[in-house]
Amino acid sequence: MNMMSATECLLQMCDEHFELEDYQSGVPRWCTGCGDNAILAAVQRLCRDEGLRPEKTVFVSGIGCSSRFPHYMKTYGFHGIHGRALPVAEGVKMARPDLTVFVNTGDGDCCSIGAAHWIHAIRYNMNITVFLHDNQIYGLTKKQASPTSPIGTKSNTTPRGSYLEALNPLSVTLGVQNVSFVAQAVDWAPEILFDIVKAAYHHKGLSFVRIVQRCPEWLPKMLDPWLHDPNKVQLLHHENGLQVSAGMGRVYKNQLQHDPLDIDRAREIASSHETIPVGILYRNPEVPCYEDLRRPDTLRTPELTRAGFNRELDKYTVWPQDAKAKAA
């Protein structure tokens, strides 16, 4: 049984209150109009509304425009290497299951070099919230086609247009054993984006949220048909999923009642090419989390961590008495 520290006991006795400024760190360097800004705003609002303590919250990322996310959160963060955000986050959660862990990754970072980690993270179903920032292009390295780039996309690596159909992150995720939460949002509907972010946070297990976002620098017009015609966006609603507000209902009239417990129907909706489905496609709270199956008897305290490091280092330490014995 894990015992609460004295500091934590005192904090719980106080009425903690946080403002947005408590989670804001620096000025984001994303391009004007980049969807990453909307995602950052939604996540910072979530942290404030849920009263997440900054010292108990961790953001992990890989490489890419989206992966600058930890730099703009006044919490703990780990800016990892390309494609490796998920295993780093899993290590954090396994060692410290008491922490709230988020992952921000891009379509190249997650779906290309990190694809194997993505698949196994879904299978492990650890209690982590994953945001896939999908602008369908490599933005940070200046416009190369990514796995989610639509067929025909002209880029520096596909000057005549990409030849392959785009990978569908929703369909892939829904096809992996132990999947427990899959949702999709768009950056230009902030109210719905926040509702999905909130639902993902409250789900116990790996929450996978694909966020279709604009890239004003390299693909400035690609999402215009969906942006200017709300009927091309299909809102999913259900008592077990999202509730559509009256205001959103007046804008987005193309709505579908979908029970997120129905994985077969979720797969059908995910594979549709006619509209962008927005909402919770699938949610199953009964899937066990890997860290619960392998939960340690005690939390890894700083003392335990230091002792573990020392044990490993001692294997290679040359002690003075050993050197004297050899000399004799």
CA 138 to chain CA centroid, Å, is 18
Domain assignment present for 136: yes
Residue 233 pLDDT? 97
- Does 1 map to a domain? no
Q: Given this model, what pLDDT does residue 323 score?
A: 63
Angstrom distance (rounded) from CA 236 to CA 256: 5
Residue 307 counted as domain residue: no
The answer to whether residue 4 sits within a structural domain is no
**What separation, in Å, do the N-terminal and C-terminal C-alpha atoms of the chain show?**
51
Q: Is residue 302 included in any domain, yes or no?
A: no
- Strand boundaries in the chain, DSSP class E: 57-61, 76-79, 100-106, 129-134, 181-186, 207-212, 233-237, 255-257, 276-283
The residue written with tokens 């492990």 in the block is: 124
CA-nearest of 178, 179, 149 to 164 is: 149
CATH code of 28's domain: 3.40.50.970
Instruction: Please tell me the predicted confidence (pLDDT) of residue 16.
Output: 79
Does residue 219 lie in a domain region?
yes
| The model's pTM | 0.88
Q: Which domain holds residue 214?
A: 12-293
Instruction: Report pLDDT digits (tens) over 264-314.
Output: 999 999 998 889 999 999 999 999 999 999 876 666 677 888 888 889 888
The pLDDT of residue 302 is: 79
CA angle 145, 102, 292 (to 5 degrees): 120
Q: Residue 324 falls within a domain, yes or no?
A: no
**Looking at residue 49, what is its pLDDT?**
97
Pairing of strands 129-134, 100-106: parallel
Q: What is the pLDDT of residue 1?
A: 38
pLDDT of the chain, 328 residues: tens digit per residue: 344 555 565 555 556 789 999 999 989 999 999 999 999 999 999 999 999 999 999 999 999 999 999 999 999 999 999 999 999 999 999 989 999 999 999 999 999 999 999 999 999 999 999 999 999 999 999 999 999 999 999 999 999 999 999 999 999 999 999 999 999 999 999 999 999 999 999 999 999 999 999 999 999 999 999 999 999 999 999 999 999 999 999 999 999 999 999 999 999 999 988 899 999 999 999 999 999 998 766 666 778 888 888 898 888 888 777 666 666 6
Q: Give the pLDDT of residue 2.
A: 47
Q: What is the pLDDT of residue 212?
A: 98
Alpha-carbon distance 255 to 240, whole Å? 15
pLDDT number for residue 29: 94
Residue 268 lies in a domain: yes
120 CB-near residues (< 8 Å, 6+ apart): 86
Total number of domains constituting the chain: 1
Among candidate residues 219, 215, 228, 223, the one with its CA nearest the CA of residue 32: 215
Predicted pLDDT of residue 264: 98
- Based on C-alpha coordinates, what's the Rg of the chain? 22
Q: Can you read off the two tokens belonging to residue 5?
A: 């520290």
